[in-house]
Amino acid sequence: MSNIALFQSGSMIPDYLRDQQDSTTKDIAGSSGGKQISIKGGVWRMVVGGEEVARNEDRAMNFVIIASGKGVSRTYYAEKYEEGKDIKPACWSAEGVKPEPEVVNPQSSACATCPQNIEGSGEGKARACRFSKRLAVALEHDIGGNIYRLSVPAKSYFGKAEGEKMPLQAFGKFLSGHGIPITGLVTEARFDTSEAVPVMKFRAVRPLSQEEWALAKAQSVTEDAKNAIDFKMVPSKAETGAQPALPQAFKEAPIAAMAAPAAATPEPTKRAKKAEAAPAAPAKDVSSILDQWATDDDE
């Protein structure tokens, strides 16, 4: 758990102990749903194994997008969905094309023609079936460390850009139009305070250094990155009978790394030094483009 105040001495986790959880640790921790960053209640929350272990109440957070799942996932809950409630959807699709084979009662043979995909099938004018985009992300100053799943909801993914305020899809199209890879940047996700529910808007902060980009690309092919974007429906606690075993001290620990980072570029880690050199960046005036995006939004 990167940069959490784990040790009383304030020591950081050394490279030789990173990602070295043994069977004893896993047995004590119990079943795990992986590492993810949740935006419940408009607060950045680090969740491990389904349990919140730390939070950051800053309006914005910087990270590097390591990888993205294919398509846009869909989930349909037969009963009223409540965020944080331990229930399993009745139907779901990893890429938003058709229900997955393991769905017991699919709502339709194809998502496009599903009755739960019609406007007004949910509350008000909303669709009963929910969209989301799964990302594998790493914190800006810990690119070679832990990888987290960030599930981007529909209102944070779809929509039109309003100046610097860009939903994720519009942000991706903007970068693509300039020939800039989204995986080669530090991206800021910022809560839009004009929205009644947590909605993220995205912008570029700075390009990665060549060493950072090589490290990010190496991370993108790891098992952790694959698990972060893989759309697997985890059984509910009611189904497994599993009880989380995370100590209270972890739940109350601050996440220093999730706060807005300093301007200085981090010293490359041992992993970065070992990573292969990345190809040269596109021959474009990237810095001037990024400078236009890096101004703070008005509060």
- pLDDT computed for residue 263 by the predictor: 45
- Over residues 183-206, the pLDDT tens digits come to 999 999 999 988 888 999 999 999
**pTM to 2 decimals?**
0.68
| Predicted pLDDT of residue 299 | 37
pLDDT digits (tens, 9 = 90+) for 13-26: 566 666 555 555 55
The confidence score (pLDDT) of residue 275 equals 47
The parts of the chain modelled with pLDDT lower than 70 are 1-33, 81-86, 233-299
Using the structure block, give the residue that is written with the tokens 């903007």: 174
State the Cα–Cα distance between residues 98 and 110, nearest whole angstrom. 4
- What pLDDT is attached to residue 46? 86
Contacts of residue 149, defined as CB under 8 A and 6 or more positions apart, other chains included, come to 34, 35, 36, 37, 134, 135, 136, 137, 227, 228, 229
**pLDDT value at position 249?**
34
